[in-house]
Structure 1
Protein backbone atom coordinates (compact mmCIF):
# COMPACT_ATOMS: atom_id res chain seq x y z
CA UNK A 1 0.00 0.00 0.00
CA UNK A 2 2.86 2.37 0.75
CA UNK A 3 4.67 1.88 -2.55
CA UNK A 4 2.51 -0.03 -5.01
CA UNK A 5 4.25 -1.48 -8.02
CA UNK A 6 3.25 -2.97 -11.35
CA UNK A 7 3.36 -6.43 -9.73
CA UNK A 8 0.76 -5.30 -7.20
CA UNK A 9 -1.49 -3.95 -9.96
CA UNK A 10 -1.15 -7.24 -11.86
CA UNK A 11 -2.22 -9.13 -8.74
CA UNK A 12 -5.27 -6.87 -8.32
CA UNK A 13 -6.21 -7.34 -11.98
CA UNK A 14 -5.87 -11.12 -11.61
CA UNK A 15 -8.25 -11.07 -8.61
CA UNK A 16 -10.73 -8.88 -10.49
CA UNK A 17 -10.61 -11.21 -13.52
CA UNK A 18 -11.31 -14.17 -11.25
CA UNK A 19 -14.29 -12.39 -9.66
CA UNK A 20 -15.62 -11.31 -13.07
CA UNK A 21 -15.67 -14.87 -14.37
CA UNK A 22 -17.04 -16.37 -11.13
CA UNK A 23 -20.35 -14.52 -10.64
CA UNK A 24 -22.14 -17.53 -9.17
CA UNK A 25 -19.78 -18.12 -6.28
CA UNK A 26 -21.36 -18.27 -2.86
CA UNK A 27 -20.21 -18.98 0.67
CA UNK A 28 -22.24 -21.64 2.48
CA UNK A 29 -22.59 -21.43 6.24
CA UNK A 30 -23.62 -24.73 7.81
CA UNK A 31 -25.04 -25.29 11.27
CA UNK A 32 -22.93 -27.87 13.08
CA UNK A 33 -24.56 -27.69 16.54
CA UNK A 34 -21.32 -26.60 18.22
CA UNK A 35 -19.11 -23.54 18.43
CA UNK A 36 -15.64 -25.06 18.14
CA UNK A 37 -13.08 -22.61 16.83
CA UNK A 38 -10.42 -23.98 14.47
CA UNK A 39 -7.78 -22.18 12.47
CA UNK A 40 -5.50 -23.04 9.56
CA UNK A 41 -2.30 -21.05 9.24
CA UNK A 42 0.48 -21.09 6.65
CA UNK A 43 3.34 -18.92 5.47
CA UNK A 44 5.82 -18.97 2.62
CA UNK A 45 9.13 -17.77 3.96
CA UNK A 46 10.62 -15.22 1.54
CA UNK A 47 8.41 -16.62 -1.22
CA UNK A 48 8.22 -13.46 -3.33
CA UNK A 49 11.03 -13.69 -5.89
CA UNK A 50 10.95 -9.94 -6.51
CA UNK A 51 11.45 -8.57 -2.99
CA UNK A 52 11.98 -11.79 -0.93
CA UNK A 53 9.10 -10.88 1.38
CA UNK A 54 7.05 -13.57 3.06
CA UNK A 55 3.32 -14.08 2.75
CA UNK A 56 1.22 -15.50 5.56
CA UNK A 57 -2.41 -16.43 5.48
CA UNK A 58 -4.99 -18.06 7.67
CA UNK A 59 -8.58 -19.23 7.75
CA UNK A 60 -10.69 -19.38 10.88
CA UNK A 61 -13.75 -21.55 11.30
CA UNK A 62 -16.37 -21.17 14.01
CA UNK A 63 -18.35 -24.40 14.24
CA UNK A 64 -16.18 -26.44 12.33
CA UNK A 65 3.15 -21.35 10.26
CA UNK A 66 5.26 -20.39 10.97
CA UNK A 67 5.45 -17.94 13.85
CA UNK A 68 4.46 -14.63 12.28
CA UNK A 69 1.38 -16.10 10.60
CA UNK A 70 0.69 -18.36 13.58
CA UNK A 71 0.75 -15.44 16.00
CA UNK A 72 -1.73 -13.50 13.85
CA UNK A 73 -4.01 -16.55 13.70
CA UNK A 74 -3.84 -17.07 17.48
CA UNK A 75 -4.86 -13.43 17.97
CA UNK A 76 -7.78 -14.00 15.58
CA UNK A 77 -8.81 -17.16 17.48
CA UNK A 78 -8.65 -15.31 20.81
CA UNK A 79 -10.69 -12.41 19.43
CA UNK A 80 -13.39 -14.76 18.07
CA UNK A 81 -13.51 -16.65 21.37
CA UNK A 82 -13.96 -13.40 23.29
CA UNK A 83 -16.61 -12.17 20.85
CA UNK A 84 -18.60 -15.41 21.13
CA UNK A 85 -18.34 -15.27 24.93
CA UNK A 86 -19.65 -11.69 24.98
CA UNK A 87 -22.55 -12.83 22.77
CA UNK A 88 -23.38 -15.55 25.29
CA UNK A 89 -21.92 -18.53 23.38
CA UNK A 90 -18.78 -19.43 25.30
CA UNK A 91 -16.82 -22.12 23.42
CA UNK A 92 -16.32 -25.18 25.61
CA UNK A 93 -13.45 -26.93 23.84
CA UNK A 94 -9.83 -26.08 23.21
CA UNK A 95 -9.32 -24.31 19.90
CA UNK A 96 -7.31 -26.05 17.16
CA UNK A 97 -4.67 -24.32 15.07
CA UNK A 98 -3.81 -26.79 12.32
CA UNK A 99 -0.28 -26.60 11.02
CA UNK A 100 1.59 -28.58 8.36
CA UNK A 101 5.04 -27.64 9.67
CA UNK A 102 6.48 -30.04 12.25
CA UNK A 103 9.40 -27.71 12.99
CA UNK A 104 7.05 -24.83 13.88
CA UNK A 105 5.06 -27.13 16.19
CA UNK A 106 8.24 -28.42 17.86
CA UNK A 107 9.62 -24.91 18.40
CA UNK A 108 6.28 -23.77 19.88
CA UNK A 109 6.36 -26.63 22.41
CA UNK A 110 10.09 -26.42 23.22
CA UNK A 111 11.29 -23.39 25.23
CA UNK A 112 14.97 -24.21 24.59
CA UNK A 113 14.93 -23.57 20.83
CA UNK A 114 17.16 -20.79 19.47
CA UNK A 115 15.61 -17.54 18.30
CA UNK A 116 16.70 -15.83 15.08
CA UNK A 117 15.16 -12.41 15.62
CA UNK A 118 13.44 -10.51 18.39
CA UNK A 119 10.11 -10.88 16.55
CA UNK A 120 10.41 -14.67 16.45
CA UNK A 121 11.42 -14.68 20.12
CA UNK A 122 8.36 -12.62 21.11
CA UNK A 123 6.06 -14.71 18.92
CA UNK A 124 7.48 -17.97 20.30
CA UNK A 125 6.88 -16.85 23.90
CA UNK A 126 3.35 -15.70 23.07
CA UNK A 127 2.54 -19.02 21.37
CA UNK A 128 4.15 -21.05 24.19
CA UNK A 129 2.15 -19.12 26.82
CA UNK A 130 -1.15 -19.83 25.04
CA UNK A 131 -0.22 -23.51 24.57
CA UNK A 132 0.59 -23.92 28.27
CA UNK A 133 -2.70 -22.23 29.22
CA UNK A 134 -4.45 -24.76 26.94
CA UNK A 135 -6.15 -21.92 25.06
CA UNK A 136 -5.45 -23.80 21.83
CA UNK A 137 -3.71 -26.93 20.65
CA UNK A 138 -1.37 -27.27 17.71
CA UNK A 139 -2.20 -30.52 15.86
CA UNK A 140 -0.12 -31.52 12.85
CA UNK A 141 -1.85 -32.04 9.53
CA UNK A 142 -0.57 -33.27 6.17
CA UNK A 143 0.32 -30.48 3.78
CA UNK A 144 -2.31 -31.78 1.31
CA UNK A 145 -5.00 -30.94 3.87
CA UNK A 146 -3.70 -27.46 4.73
CA UNK A 147 -6.43 -25.03 3.65
CA UNK A 148 -4.27 -21.94 4.15
CA UNK A 149 -1.95 -23.03 1.29
CA UNK A 150 -4.49 -21.49 -1.09
CA UNK A 151 -3.44 -18.07 0.32
CA UNK A 152 0.34 -18.52 0.28
CA UNK A 153 1.37 -20.89 -2.50
CA UNK A 154 0.77 -21.83 -6.09
CA UNK A 155 -1.25 -25.04 -5.94
CA UNK A 156 -2.75 -27.38 -8.51
CA UNK A 157 -6.26 -26.70 -9.79
CA UNK A 158 -7.44 -29.94 -8.14
CA UNK A 159 -6.10 -28.77 -4.74
CA UNK A 160 -7.56 -25.30 -5.37
CA UNK A 161 -11.09 -26.58 -6.03
CA UNK A 162 -10.82 -29.09 -3.18
CA UNK A 163 -9.94 -26.19 -0.85
CA UNK A 164 -12.90 -24.17 -2.13
CA UNK A 165 -15.20 -27.10 -1.35
CA UNK A 166 -13.78 -27.45 2.17
CA UNK A 167 -14.19 -23.72 2.74
CA UNK A 168 -17.86 -23.92 1.75
CA UNK A 169 -17.43 -21.90 -1.44
CA UNK A 170 -19.64 -23.18 -4.23
CA UNK A 171 -21.24 -22.15 -7.49
CA UNK A 172 -24.97 -21.41 -7.49
CA UNK A 173 -25.15 -22.20 -11.22
CA UNK A 174 -23.83 -25.77 -10.94
CA UNK A 175 -26.67 -28.32 -11.16
CA UNK A 176 -27.18 -30.31 -7.96
Structure 2
Protein backbone atom coordinates (compact mmCIF):
# COMPACT_ATOMS: atom_id res chain seq x y z
CA UNK A 1 0.00 0.00 0.00
CA UNK A 2 2.92 2.34 0.61
CA UNK A 3 4.45 1.94 -2.85
CA UNK A 4 1.87 0.50 -5.25
CA UNK A 5 3.06 -0.50 -8.69
CA UNK A 6 1.38 -1.45 -11.93
CA UNK A 7 1.59 -5.19 -11.15
CA UNK A 8 -0.36 -4.55 -7.93
CA UNK A 9 -3.06 -2.75 -9.90
CA UNK A 10 -3.26 -5.63 -12.40
CA UNK A 11 -3.56 -8.16 -9.58
CA UNK A 12 -6.37 -6.13 -8.00
CA UNK A 13 -8.19 -5.98 -11.34
CA UNK A 14 -7.86 -9.76 -11.70
CA UNK A 15 -9.51 -10.24 -8.29
CA UNK A 16 -12.34 -7.85 -9.19
CA UNK A 17 -12.92 -9.67 -12.50
CA UNK A 18 -13.07 -13.01 -10.67
CA UNK A 19 -15.56 -11.62 -8.13
CA UNK A 20 -17.71 -10.12 -10.89
CA UNK A 21 -17.81 -13.48 -12.68
CA UNK A 22 -18.81 -15.42 -9.56
CA UNK A 23 -21.53 -13.23 -8.01
CA UNK A 24 -23.82 -16.17 -7.23
CA UNK A 25 -21.15 -18.29 -5.58
CA UNK A 26 -21.61 -19.09 -1.93
CA UNK A 27 -21.56 -21.68 0.81
CA UNK A 28 -24.73 -23.71 1.16
CA UNK A 29 -25.46 -24.86 4.72
CA UNK A 30 -27.81 -27.79 4.25
CA UNK A 31 -30.46 -28.57 6.86
CA UNK A 32 -29.90 -32.32 6.50
CA UNK A 33 -26.14 -32.07 7.00
CA UNK A 34 -24.72 -33.98 10.00
CA UNK A 35 -23.47 -31.83 12.86
CA UNK A 36 -19.96 -33.27 12.79
CA UNK A 37 -16.90 -31.04 12.78
CA UNK A 38 -14.02 -31.94 10.47
CA UNK A 39 -10.80 -29.95 10.31
CA UNK A 40 -8.42 -29.98 7.34
CA UNK A 41 -4.89 -28.66 7.80
CA UNK A 42 -1.89 -28.19 5.55
CA UNK A 43 1.38 -26.34 5.48
CA UNK A 44 4.00 -25.39 2.94
CA UNK A 45 7.47 -25.89 4.38
CA UNK A 46 9.60 -22.69 4.34
CA UNK A 47 7.37 -21.12 1.70
CA UNK A 48 8.49 -17.53 2.34
CA UNK A 49 11.76 -16.93 0.51
CA UNK A 50 12.72 -14.02 2.79
CA UNK A 51 11.96 -15.30 6.29
CA UNK A 52 11.86 -19.08 5.53
CA UNK A 53 8.66 -19.29 7.56
CA UNK A 54 5.98 -21.76 6.59
CA UNK A 55 2.40 -20.97 5.68
CA UNK A 56 -0.36 -22.68 7.65
CA UNK A 57 -3.72 -23.20 6.03
CA UNK A 58 -6.76 -24.84 7.59
CA UNK A 59 -10.49 -24.93 7.31
CA UNK A 60 -13.32 -26.54 9.23
CA UNK A 61 -16.42 -28.18 7.83
CA UNK A 62 -19.72 -28.66 9.62
CA UNK A 63 -21.05 -31.69 7.82
CA UNK A 64 -20.15 -31.01 4.19
CA UNK A 65 -20.11 -27.21 4.42
CA UNK A 66 -17.05 -25.07 5.19
CA UNK A 67 -17.73 -22.75 8.12
CA UNK A 68 -14.29 -21.48 9.14
CA UNK A 69 -10.93 -21.09 7.40
CA UNK A 70 -7.62 -19.30 7.68
CA UNK A 71 -4.22 -19.03 6.04
CA UNK A 72 -1.41 -17.43 8.01
CA UNK A 73 2.35 -17.34 8.04
CA UNK A 74 3.70 -19.20 11.06
CA UNK A 75 5.25 -17.13 13.86
CA UNK A 76 8.49 -19.13 13.96
CA UNK A 77 10.74 -20.89 11.47
CA UNK A 78 9.99 -24.61 11.42
CA UNK A 79 13.01 -26.90 11.28
CA UNK A 80 11.23 -29.65 9.35
CA UNK A 81 8.15 -30.19 7.21
CA UNK A 82 6.74 -32.43 9.97
CA UNK A 83 7.04 -29.56 12.45
CA UNK A 84 5.34 -27.16 10.03
CA UNK A 85 2.46 -29.63 9.54
CA UNK A 86 2.26 -30.24 13.30
CA UNK A 87 1.89 -26.50 13.88
CA UNK A 88 -0.96 -26.52 11.34
CA UNK A 89 -2.61 -29.35 13.32
CA UNK A 90 -2.23 -27.22 16.44
CA UNK A 91 -4.03 -24.30 14.79
CA UNK A 92 -6.94 -26.37 13.50
CA UNK A 93 -7.29 -28.19 16.85
CA UNK A 94 -7.68 -24.86 18.65
CA UNK A 95 -10.35 -23.79 16.16
CA UNK A 96 -12.19 -27.11 16.45
CA UNK A 97 -12.28 -26.84 20.24
CA UNK A 98 -13.68 -23.31 20.02
CA UNK A 99 -16.34 -24.34 17.50
CA UNK A 100 -17.34 -27.33 19.63
CA UNK A 101 -17.88 -25.02 22.61
CA UNK A 102 -19.89 -22.67 20.38
CA UNK A 103 -22.13 -25.54 19.25
CA UNK A 104 -22.63 -26.57 22.88
CA UNK A 105 -23.59 -22.99 23.79
CA UNK A 106 -26.16 -23.10 20.98
CA UNK A 107 -27.62 -26.33 22.40
CA UNK A 108 -26.03 -28.89 20.06
CA UNK A 109 -24.15 -31.72 21.73
CA UNK A 110 -21.03 -32.88 19.88
CA UNK A 111 -19.81 -35.93 21.81
CA UNK A 112 -17.99 -37.81 19.04
CA UNK A 113 -14.31 -37.01 18.45
CA UNK A 114 -13.80 -34.29 15.89
CA UNK A 115 -11.82 -35.34 12.83
CA UNK A 116 -8.55 -33.79 11.69
CA UNK A 117 -7.46 -34.58 8.11
CA UNK A 118 -3.73 -34.16 7.50
CA UNK A 119 -1.50 -35.28 4.62
CA UNK A 120 1.63 -35.64 6.76
CA UNK A 121 2.20 -39.08 8.30
CA UNK A 122 5.12 -37.82 10.47
CA UNK A 123 2.95 -35.05 11.96
CA UNK A 124 0.19 -37.55 12.74
CA UNK A 125 2.74 -39.86 14.34
CA UNK A 126 4.14 -37.04 16.49
CA UNK A 127 0.65 -36.04 17.57
CA UNK A 128 -0.47 -39.58 18.38
CA UNK A 129 2.68 -40.80 20.11
CA UNK A 130 2.74 -39.95 23.84
CA UNK A 131 6.48 -40.63 24.09
CA UNK A 132 8.53 -37.44 23.82
CA UNK A 133 11.25 -38.16 21.30
CA UNK A 134 14.69 -36.55 21.20
CA UNK A 135 14.01 -35.49 17.61
CA UNK A 136 10.92 -33.45 18.56
CA UNK A 137 12.32 -31.51 21.51
CA UNK A 138 12.60 -28.36 19.38
CA UNK A 139 8.81 -28.22 19.03
CA UNK A 140 7.46 -25.91 21.68
CA UNK A 141 5.34 -27.23 24.51
CA UNK A 142 2.29 -25.29 23.44
CA UNK A 143 2.13 -27.36 20.25
CA UNK A 144 1.97 -30.59 22.21
CA UNK A 145 -1.52 -29.88 23.47
CA UNK A 146 -2.72 -31.60 20.25
CA UNK A 147 -1.41 -34.83 21.75
CA UNK A 148 -3.41 -34.21 24.94
CA UNK A 149 -6.60 -33.59 22.96
CA UNK A 150 -6.11 -36.88 21.10
CA UNK A 151 -5.61 -38.75 24.37
CA UNK A 152 -8.78 -37.15 25.81
CA UNK A 153 -10.73 -38.25 22.70
CA UNK A 154 -11.60 -34.70 21.66
CA UNK A 155 -9.96 -34.98 18.21
CA UNK A 156 -8.86 -37.88 16.04
CA UNK A 157 -6.31 -37.41 13.23
CA UNK A 158 -6.60 -39.21 9.90
CA UNK A 159 -4.16 -39.31 7.01
CA UNK A 160 -5.37 -38.21 3.59
CA UNK A 161 -3.38 -38.22 0.39
CA UNK A 162 -2.05 -34.94 -0.95
CA UNK A 163 -4.51 -35.15 -3.86
CA UNK A 164 -7.44 -35.32 -1.43
CA UNK A 165 -6.13 -32.62 0.94
CA UNK A 166 -8.72 -29.85 0.72
CA UNK A 167 -6.62 -27.34 2.66
CA UNK A 168 -4.19 -27.23 -0.30
CA UNK A 169 -6.33 -24.46 -1.75
CA UNK A 170 -5.06 -22.21 1.07
CA UNK A 171 -1.35 -23.06 0.90
CA UNK A 172 -0.48 -23.84 -2.71
CA UNK A 173 -0.91 -22.25 -6.10
CA UNK A 174 -3.41 -24.27 -8.10
CA UNK A 175 -4.21 -24.32 -11.78
CA UNK A 176 -7.70 -23.42 -12.99
CA UNK A 177 -8.82 -27.06 -13.30
CA UNK A 178 -7.60 -27.99 -9.80
CA UNK A 179 -9.05 -24.76 -8.34
CA UNK A 180 -12.51 -25.46 -9.80
CA UNK A 181 -12.38 -29.07 -8.56
CA UNK A 182 -11.49 -27.87 -5.05
CA UNK A 183 -14.42 -25.43 -5.03
CA UNK A 184 -16.80 -28.31 -5.72
CA UNK A 185 -15.18 -30.45 -3.01
CA UNK A 186 -15.44 -27.57 -0.53
CA UNK A 187 -19.18 -27.28 -1.10
CA UNK A 188 -19.06 -23.88 -2.78
CA UNK A 189 -21.95 -23.60 -5.21
CA UNK A 190 -23.68 -21.13 -7.46
CA UNK A 191 -26.63 -20.25 -5.20
CA UNK A 192 -28.58 -18.62 -8.05
CA UNK A 193 -28.48 -21.74 -10.28
CA UNK A 194 -31.48 -24.07 -10.22
CA UNK A 195 -30.92 -27.16 -8.05
- Taking structure 1 as the reference length, the TM-score comes to 0.83
Residue 93 of structure 1 pairs with residue 93 of structure 2: no
Question: Which residue of 72, 87, 94 maps to 1:68?
Answer: 87
Displacement of 1:16:
4.0
Which structure's residues are more often strand, by fraction?
Answer: 2
Q: Does structure 1 conserve the Cα–Cα contact (< 8 Å) formed by 2:87 and 2:143? A: no
- CA shift, 1:53, in A, is 2.6
Counterpart in 2 of 1:52? 52
Q: How high is the TM-score relative to the length of structure 2?
A: 0.75
Cα distance between partner residues in 2 of 1:62 and 1:132: 23
Per-residue deviation at 1:97? 0.4
Aligned-CA RMSD value: 2.7
CA contact (8 A) 1:68 1:123 kept: no
Gaps of 5+ in 2: 65-83
Q: How do residues 135-174 of structure 1 correspond to structure 2 at under 5 angstroms?
A: 135-172=154-191
Equivalent residue, structure 2, for 1:19? 19
Aligned-pair CA distance for 1:46: 1.1
2: CA distance, partners of 1:83 / 1:52: 35
How big is the shift at 1:15? 3.9
Deviation digits for residues 23-66 of structure 1 (CA, Å, limit 9, x no counterpart): 23222112335311101001111112344332111110112461
Q: CA deviation at 1:145?
A: 0.8
User: Structure 2: how far apart are the matches of 1:116 and 1:15?
Assistant: 43
| Cα displacement (A) at 1:146 | 0.7
With over 3 angstroms needed to count, the CA separation of the structure-2 counterparts of 1:131 and 1:157, relative to structure 1, is same
Which secondary structure does the structure 2 equivalent of 1:69 belong to? Answer: helix
Measured at CA, do residues 31 and 11 of structure 1 come closer, stay the same or move farther in structure 2, by a change above 3 Å?
A: farther
Change (3 A) 1:99 1:32: farther
